[in-house]
Amino acid sequence: MFKKGLFLLVLMVNVVFSQNELPLIPKPQSIQTEKGSFVITKETVIQADKKTFEANYLKAQIKELTGLDLPILPVSNANSKIALSFVVESIVSTGSNQYHLDITTKKVSIQAESDEGFFYGIQTFLQLIPSDSKTQIKVPCLKIDDEPKYAWRGMHLDCARHFFPKEFVKKYIDYIAMYKMNTFHWHLTDDQGWRIEIKKYPKLTEIGAWRNGSMIGHYNDQTYDDKRYGGFYTQEDVKEIVAYATQRHITVVPEIEMPGHAVAALAAYPEYSCTGGPFQVAKQWGVLDDVFCPKEETITFLEDVLTEVMALFPSKYIHIGGDECPKTRWKTCPHCQALIKEKGLKDEHELQSYFVQRIEKFVNKKGRKIIGWDEILEGGLAPNAAVMSWRGTEGGIEAAKQKHFVVMTPGSHCYFDHYQGDPKNEPLAIGGYTTVEKVYGFNPHQPNYLPRKPTTFWVLKPMYGPNIWKMLPK
């Protein structure tokens, strides 16, 4: 995927800059190309006022890309004629993540108003270092003024269906950072696995993190292996990943699915279902009828879980899922039916809305906000909820009209569990056909419908694991 992405970019910049192939993703807002190039040699030094994370990050990345281990010198001590100069002009919190990158034959300088802007300037510079230049490392002279267009730029990773080790998650975060994204949406619970340690409910990971087999082949084939599969992140692992992401200016938004996609949790604690179980952690993908029963005990359980989750993740938003919740069990459950009567609700959709609003109230009380998939619009949107529009863009448009924050993640453009080329040459995918060109061409902002202010965001949401392994270069 990323390799293809770079290839695509070269093609695109060929059109825009016929003489200067700039391998930059995303394309900066303003680029002024100039003659000549800056050559990085072993004499080059990195000038930085202090040994900040950013300066060390730059040093490490340059070493990885070129093999050169450049020293970091304080600005006043640097006497090299040729220097990478990093100047943070002022860390005044203007809220701006702008940066200015200036590359001349003598010097590279990055100016920014925030550490974040500075980090983005570094990413742009790193993207300009040719990947195959072991002999002479030349970076083209230019001036770039840039800042991110959207407030939420992110990638999702589903670690519930497919468990990824901690080191992989960090690598994934590195790639997110490389493209100046600022959000890692970490899908931690689903029918097929519960992946986060919750101290008050140890069975969530003792039982919920393991399944006795997985679906292999296409959904319609309904074939399974019988290998025990699973894993989970301890709270220490989570802290480590959140800290790693934070250094890279990435917010980790955890997704704890409710009221649907809950079978792994119910396998551990069947008392929070409508029927009482028993359940097994799901081997199959898809949408399952057994979901949380929105009775008081369940809400207390989920509040306890969220309390531990919010202590680990400082993100403003907590993703509560909210998608694909069949109402089958609720329709015949005495608890659910009594609750519908008691609260004067119209139907099971309003019951879901009641449930989401209860959870929202709790999360809001802790100073956080909820975000959910666009199904949370059904039966009435919770007052402060943000919406992630995955079943097309309509849900996002509707939520934006209701003045809610929206993250555009339509399956047509943002799901990487689709084929990206001829299925013959691709790993197993859910179906569909979504090329890199289509993904890159997605414009989340539909000016006919949405306000022009940056209240909309966009996310790329790779859903199923095996494709990801293929996508990331080793």
Which residues of the shown chain bind Zn ion in the complex (CB under 5 A)? 274, 293, 333, 335-336
Task: In whole angstroms, give the CA distance from residue 306 to residue 198.
Answer: 9
Task: In whole angstroms, give the CA distance from residue 312 to residue 289.
Answer: 30
Nearest-approach distance from CB 349 to Zn ion, in angstroms? 15
The single residue of 240, 324, 350, 426 carrying the catalytic annotation is 324
Judged by beta carbon, residue 184 or residue 269, the one nearer Zn ion is 269
Q: Which residue type is seen at 389?
A: S
Judged by beta carbon, residue 89 or residue 297, the one nearer Zn ion is 297
Nearest-approach distance from CB 334 to Zn ion, in angstroms? 8
Nearest-approach distance from CB 171 to Zn ion, in angstroms? 41
Q: Could you confirm whether 404 is annotated as catalytic?
A: no
CA 247 vs CA 85, 174, 179: distances in Å: 21, 11, 15
Task: In whole angstroms, give the CA distance from residue 246 to residue 241.
Answer: 8
Q: Could you confirm whether 190 is annotated as catalytic?
A: yes
Nearest-approach distance from CB 295 to Zn ion, in angstroms? 6
Task: In whole angstroms, give the CA distance from residue 15 to residue 33.
Answer: 15
Do 468 and 176 contact (CB within 8 A), yes or no?
A: no
Residues 6 or more apart whose CB falls under 8 angstroms from that of 39 comprise 82, 136, 137, 138, 139
Judged by beta carbon, residue 260 or residue 462, the one nearer Zn ion is 260
The single residue of 162, 261, 413, 418 carrying the catalytic annotation is 261
CA 32, distance to chain mean position in Å, is 31
Do 459 and 185 contact (CB within 8 A), yes or no?
A: yes
Task: In whole angstroms, give the CA distance from residue 310 to residue 433.
Answer: 37
Judged by beta carbon, residue 206 or residue 296, the one nearer Zn ion is 296
Q: How many CB atoms lie within 10 A of CB 245?
A: 24
Q: Give yes or no for a cis peptide into 423 (omega within 30° of 0).
A: no
Nearest-approach distance from CB 303 to Zn ion, in angstroms? 18
Nearest-approach distance from CB 263 to Zn ion, in angstroms? 15
Nearest-approach distance from CB 339 to Zn ion, in angstroms? 8
Judged by beta carbon, residue 99 or residue 330, the one nearer Zn ion is 330
Residues 6 or more apart whose CB falls under 8 angstroms from that of 156 comprise 185, 186, 187, 255, 409, 459, 460, 461, 462, 463
Judged by beta carbon, residue 128 or residue 274, the one nearer Zn ion is 274
Task: In whole angstroms, give the CA distance from residue 437 to residue 445.
Answer: 17
Nearest-approach distance from CB 273 to Zn ion, in angstroms? 7
Judged by beta carbon, residue 117 or residue 260, the one nearer Zn ion is 260
Judged by beta carbon, residue 352 or residue 409, the one nearer Zn ion is 352
For residue 192, which of 206, 178, 204, 208 has the smallest C-alpha distance? Answer: 208
Q: Could you confirm whether 49 is annotated as catalytic?
A: no
Helix (H/G/I), strand (E/B), else coil: 113: coil
Is residue 411 within a helix (H) or strand (E), and if so which, with residue range?
helix 411-414
What is the residue-wise DSSP string for 139-162? EEEEEEEE--S-S-EEEEEETTTS
- Active-site residues: which are they? 190, 261, 324
